[in-house]
Amino acid sequence: MFRAEQSAPGGAPAHAEFYAATVRRAAPADLAALVALERHFPGDRLSRQSFRRLLQSASAEVWVYEEAGQVTGNAVLLCRSNSTQARLYSLVVHPQHHGRGIARALLDAVEHTAAGRGCHRLSLEVRADNAPALRLYQKAGFQLIRQITDYYEDHASALRLEKPVASSK
């Protein structure tokens, strides 16, 4: 469990006092919030049914960022028990909360989880035209593996990125 005491943007405390933000594993009760956040995902979106399956799957881990009782971001990790390769399947932050380090916090949680499950590498696909996400991943140490043309429903290209994770097994 990752927990951070945060002040409001700009350094001023919210409501005259600090509030807690938590990165935690998603629970079935988060389903509606996960589906609502997915509206802000560019391109192919995960359905309610997909999230329900992911929440029950032994090879998936869904993480959420929660602040003041509100889920403002989520990340989905896929990691099969017999594989050393993990995949970041989805990452989204509510637009009202962009630029506050929420994606970075979720990414850290996902990397720790992948390492804890014995994975050595974390991979992902990102739209080639998604500049904010590319910057995030580049800054987090991901490297370009290859371009995949006609990857998304609208025929846009994807970039496959990867980074090593320090396995703790």
| 139 interacts with ligand COA by CB under 6 A | yes
| 154 interacts with ligand COA by CB under 6 A | no
Site map (CB under 6 A) of ligand COA, residues 59-98, x = contact? --------------------------------xxx----x
Grouping H, G, I as helix, E, B as strand and the rest as coil, residue 33 is helix
Nearer to ligand COA, 39 or 53 (CB): 39
Among 20, 47, 104, 148, interactor with ligand COA by CB under 6 A: 104
d(CA 67, CA 97): 11
Interface stretch with ligand COA, choices 22-30, 76-84, 110-118, 126-134 (CB under 6 A): 126-134
Write out the two tokens for 66: 């929660």
| 102 interacts with ligand COA by CB under 6 A | yes
Taking CA atoms, 140 is separated from 7, 17, 56, 68, 164, in Å, by 23, 31, 29, 27, 11
Give the residue among 30, 22, 112, 36 at the shortest CA–CA distance from 65: 22
| 39 interacts with ligand COA by CB under 6 A | no
CA atoms within 13 A on the CB side of 63: 30
Write out the two tokens for 138: 């580049």
Nearer to ligand COA, 18 or 41 (CB): 41
Write out the two tokens for 80: 């099969």
| 53 interacts with ligand COA by CB under 6 A | no
**Residues of this chain that bind ligand COA (CB under 6 A):** 40-42, 91-93, 98-104, 126, 130, 132-133, 135-136, 139
